[in-house]
Structure 1
Amino acid sequence: MNSLNNEHSLFLTLRDMVFLKSKWQLVQYSLFELFPESFIKNFKSSRSGVWPIMKEIFDNIRKQRLDNLMEKRNDFINLLLELGKEGKLYGEELGMGENGRKRQIEIDFNENRMIAQLFIYFVAGFETASTTMSYAMHELAFHPEIQQEVQKEIDTVLAKHKNEFSYEAITEMHLLESVIKESLRLFPPAGVTHRMCTKDYIIPEVNVKI
């Protein structure tokens, strides 16, 4: 999509539609966080124009893949397309069924479900990664002595790997990993994760029922 050099990229348009919120939308989000049960049926987390853009992105990538059948890519899109050929997904339900047993479920994995998965992949990977990197660089700017140590480690590891980035090289950058983890501790991009309790549970230490 050439999103780094093309200011009119669909990815950037999608970013603005998903992450830039009006004051009213921020109020809605706050109310939803406080009273999810009351808002769950009517709450819309994105604008109506998001779906057509997601479909256009998906159609563009799928056409590229079909036009280059000899080029195999081991990535998320390829996995979605392979699952689309299967047509159905089988697995266990998330909650507990009757007699404490999980029911087997069957899902039609059509184009709409593929686009929905692509949307979640985009949202989860875009904002969280950029926020984490931004705060990490922000903290390094206020701690130049750590910044120098990180730079030294990166230079040393890359020199060992012929100045080529690779998974193996990055796993050897232990100080850089510590900086990322400390940034996540100080500024977690996802501060709260909501979950629905599937059955009653009593916390033994305080005798509180969930």
Structure 2
Amino acid sequence: MENAKWRNIRAKFPTAFTSAKMRKMFVIMENMTEQLLQNLEVYAKSDTPLNIKSEISKFTMDIISSCALGIKTNTMKNENEELLGFGRKFFDDQWNVYNNSIVITIPRWILHKLNFRVMTKRTEEYFFNLFQRVIRNYRKENQVRRGDLADIILGLTEKHENQRDFSGKQPMEPINLDEFTSQCLVFLAASFETSSSTQTFALFELAKNPECQEKLRKEIIEVLAKHDDKITYDAVMEMKYLEKVVDGFFKR
């Protein structure tokens, strides 16, 4: 998308991530950590090495799918391996990385004439069927409303006279089914790998720097003590050293 159409849609997305909605998402995230802890406990008890990136990727996929798109993927329970595979394909396939560079450098109208694809047709069809079946059809038929990103994107497929574009002068034109699928996919792709990689690198640095790990553990214990030892949205917001660790700016 380009120009006004892109701006219209982009302006709608921040409403899915207000503080109130982030607090609701936090509850979902907290519940999902129980399954992650169970998975890690198996390795801890048997003193067995594990591929932490793999575990974090499953954890991230489940959270993003549930919080933003309203889909229960259960990849941490080793279900939906196909979804996890297609989610990684965008980043693991070097040809697609090459394609992404082409998108940046060549005008879109030329790419259209060449019938250019960023992803394989099979990948496109998989996500098209997933988002159409699980999100659009299920929610419309059952009138499910969660106030999440999926609801916002669904709303964009319909024309509402009171829903103005960014100029405020005229109603927004609805997006088509391909564009609906693209909006869901681009959010999933953008948040899945970035979030799992950030967590993986943060854990790696903490393992390499035990004094930083101990400093972080101390902060977490002290902050949780002020919140009845419960992990809450407000408690995490108080963990300033944790924020630095995630952002990659922590010091010994």
Give the TM-score taking structure 2 as reference length.
0.56
Matching residue's letter, 2:135: I
Bigger Rg, structure 1 or 2: 1
Q: 1:135 aligns with which of 171, 192, 201?
A: 201
Distance 1:169 1:80 in 2: 31
Alignment of 1:29-178 (within 5 A): 32=102, 36-37=105-106, 41=111, 42=114, 44-58=117-131, 59-66=133-140, 68-69=142-143, 72-86=145-159, 91=165, 107-178=173-244
Matching residue's letter, 1:172: E
**Stretches (4+) displaced over 6 A:** none
Shift of residue 4, structure 1, vs aligned partner:
1.8
Distance 2:142 2:231 in 1: 27
Q: Does the 8 A contact of 2:160 with 2:171 survive in 1? A: no
Q: 2:91 aligns with which of 7, 11, 19?
A: 19
Give the TM-score taking structure 1 as reference length.
0.66
User: Which residue of 2 is the match for residue 205 of structure 1?
Assistant: none
CA separation of 1:157 and 1:77: change in aligned 2, threshold 3 A: same
Distance 1:105 1:54 in 2: 29
Which structure has more relative contact order (CA 8 Å, sep 6+)? It is: 2
Matching residue's letter, 1:36: T
| Offset from partner CA, 1:14-46 (integer Å, 9 cap, x none) | 213312214x5555556x38x813796255321
The structure whose residues are more often helix, as a share, is 2
CA separation of 1:67 and 1:44: change in aligned 2, threshold 3 A: closer
Matching residue's letter, 2:106: E
Q: Does the 8 A contact of 1:136 with 1:179 survive in 2? A: yes
The number of residues matched between the two structures is 171
CA separation of 1:163 and 1:54: change in aligned 2, threshold 3 A: farther
Shift of residue 67, structure 1, vs aligned partner:
5.6
Return 5+ residue gaps in structure 1 as ranges. 94-102, 185-210
CA RMSD after TM alignment: 3.2
Return 5+ residue gaps in structure 2 as ranges. 1-72
Distance 2:82 2:140 in 1: 21
Matching residue's letter, 1:173: M
Distance 2:85 2:156 in 1: 28
Distance 1:27 1:9 in 2: 25
SS of match in other structure, 2:173: strand
**Identity of matched residues, %:** 29
Q: Does the 8 A contact of 1:17 with 1:47 survive in 2? A: no
Q: Does the 8 A contact of 1:91 with 1:106 survive in 2? A: yes
